[in-house]
Amino acid sequence: MDSATQMAADGLQAFGMIGTVLWTMLRIGAMLMAMPLIGSRAVPARVRALLASVLAIALSPLLPPVPEWTGFDAATVLTIARELAIGVSIGFVLRLVFEAGAMAGELVAQGTGLAFAQMSDPLRGGSSGVIGQWFYLLFGLLFFTANGHLALISLVVDSYKALPIGAALPDVQGFLGIAPNFLLQVFRGALTLALPLTVAMLAINLAFGVLARAAPALNPIQLGLPVALLLGLFLLTVLAGEMGPPVQRLFDAAFEAADSVTR
């Protein structure tokens, strides 16, 4: 084989590798754009693109072969749309769990009198309560502590094996069947996290209300807010140490729902 033929063969092989990486980046990049923390505005788009390219380069040798490039015909456009839809679905399912944490934080803030503490939220966009942001970040710490990022990469690899690039979408009945139960688990998880502290703060407010009726000269209303605030912060520290198991159950439910997207 002469040098010109060797260079042409190497060029075709290089273009094939680039095409494989680009096809793999579609699903991974869409997932990173939709998932929490990494897909937020706080992470620049260049960082997300770099992370998607690194993951695609690392995972592409382990995945089934990609379809050959035939130009921008109807089949190629549908395949690209299919890959983007799968990635967005996986990332959005995981985002719902983090939104459950933010919802629990907002419910706790209403009970402790911290609902007025609003500030800019770069992770979710706009402004939200401080307690909601604290719960959101705590969910993120628990996610990485429990090696959720490694489980997510394993889930992506399994999704490529169950639904290779270019394959037809599976029957959505499985995902539609598990989606209502997953949404119920998300709302139930948010209420479960917020209920103990909310009930405790309700009992404290009722106690100060009874004291205000029994001894109005003591003016307990002025003491109610600072006492409720201090007790609420103390109960938050206690709750933080007990959030591991319920949050882990929410993550397990999210991974099960995300796995059903490609089954």
Can you name the residues that pair with 118 across neighbouring β-strands? 129
Alpha carbons 4 and 2: distance in angstroms, whole number = 6
CB-CB contact of 153 with 55 (8 Å)? yes
Place of tokens 């007790």: 231
Residue 105 carries which side chain, given as an amino acid letter? G
| Burial status of residue 243 (CB atoms within 10 A of its CB: 0-12, 13-18, 19 or more) | middle
Contact by Cβ (8 Å): 94, 35: yes
Specify the residue for token string 């909310």.
Answer: 198
**Per-residue pLDDT at 5:** 46
Q: How many residues does the chain have?
A: 263
Judge whether 66 and 23 are in contact, CB under 8 Å: yes
Helices 173-214 and 244-259 pack at an angle, to 10 degrees, of 150
pTM more than 0.85: no
pLDDT more than 70, % of the chain: 82
| CA–CA separation, 115 and 131 (whole Å) | 8
Please write the tens of the pLDDT for every residue from 214-251: 777 666 667 777 777 788 788 888 887 888 888 888 89
Summarised one tens digit per residue, pLDDT across range 134-193 is 888 888 888 988 888 889 989 988 888 888 887 776 666 666 677 778 888 888 888 888
Other CB atoms within a 10 A radius of the CB of residue 118 amount to 15
Tell me: the pLDDT tens digits for 54-78? 998 888 888 887 777 776 777 788 8
